[in-house]
Chain A
Amino acid sequence: SQQGEEDPQALSIQEGENATMNCSYKTSINNLQWYRQNSGRGLVHLILIRSNEREKHSGRLRVTLDTSKKSSSLLITASRAADTASYFCATDDRKLIWGLGTSLAVNP
């Protein structure tokens, strides 16, 4: 069973624009992680936010976490064509529980 639900399922933007993806989850968590996946393979860890944190930055990425609403958002600023990928949130229960992902297309 999947824990997270990403929203939207698909997003298409122009290069240079910002992209925002949301994730909702069901149970209490220790942390929430965002991963990127290109071409159906190769999951890459992007950022981890702990349950006692509300916001975290890493380069062009900004993640927020609202544990009262059981939701998180990932903002990618100044998007590039290379950001085209699927983005997944995963919650830590020793094993990662994953959502269905948001498919992001950044058009040059």
Chain B
Amino acid sequence: GAGVSQTPSNKVTEKGKYVELRCDPISGHTALYWYRQSLGQGPEFLIYFQGTGAADDSGLPNDRFFAVRPEGSVSTLKIQRTERGDSAVYLCASSEGPHQETQYFGPGTRLLVL
């Protein structure tokens, strides 16, 4: 079946602009995760959804970052007033449920803030 998809695959924006990154999880997966990965680093946890609610948003770096999952499926990560330091690959993953540990990752969105 279809895996996790993310759009766009690449996004170039200017400092100060607003961006939205989309994640389509595997159908039926109730848990959804956002991570950020900088060059040469491991992924860094941002936020975790169980269903429609954010079960853990402790990884969001500041209030410029926000994510939603209004219908418990597709999720959007929103970044306001982008900064050059936000440049990274944003990864989305999903799992069957909160106690299903294996996460399935999308290909990521490469964000470049000029």
User: Interface of A with B (CB < 8 Å)?
Assistant: 2, 4, 30-31, 33, 35, 40-45, 48, 88, 90, 92, 94-101
Contact = CB atoms under 8 A, between A and B. Distances in A.
B103 interface: yes
Nearest to A31: B101
Contacts, number: 60
B51 to A, nearest CB: 14
Interface of B: 33, 35, 37, 39-45, 48, 55-56, 59, 89, 91, 93, 98, 101-105, 107-108, 110
A44 B104 CA distance: 7
B67 to A, nearest CB: 13
27 contacts: A2-B41, A2-B42, A4-B42, A33-B101, A35-B105, A40-B37, A41-B107, A42-B107, A43-B91, A43-B93, A43-B105, A44-B105, A45-B102, A45-B103, A48-B101, A88-B42, A90-B42, A92-B101, A94-B48, A94-B55, A94-B98, A95-B45, A95-B56, A97-B45, A98-B45, A100-B40, A100-B41
A101 B42 CA distance: 6
Contacts of A41: 89, 107-108, 110
Nearest to A47: B102
Nearest to A9: B40
A48 B99 CA distance: 13
B59 to A, nearest CB: 7
A100 B102 contact: no
Contact of A42 (B56, B102, B105): B105
Contact of A95 (B48, B91, B110): B48
A101 B59 CA distance: 20
Contacts of B93: 43
Contacts of A88: 42-43
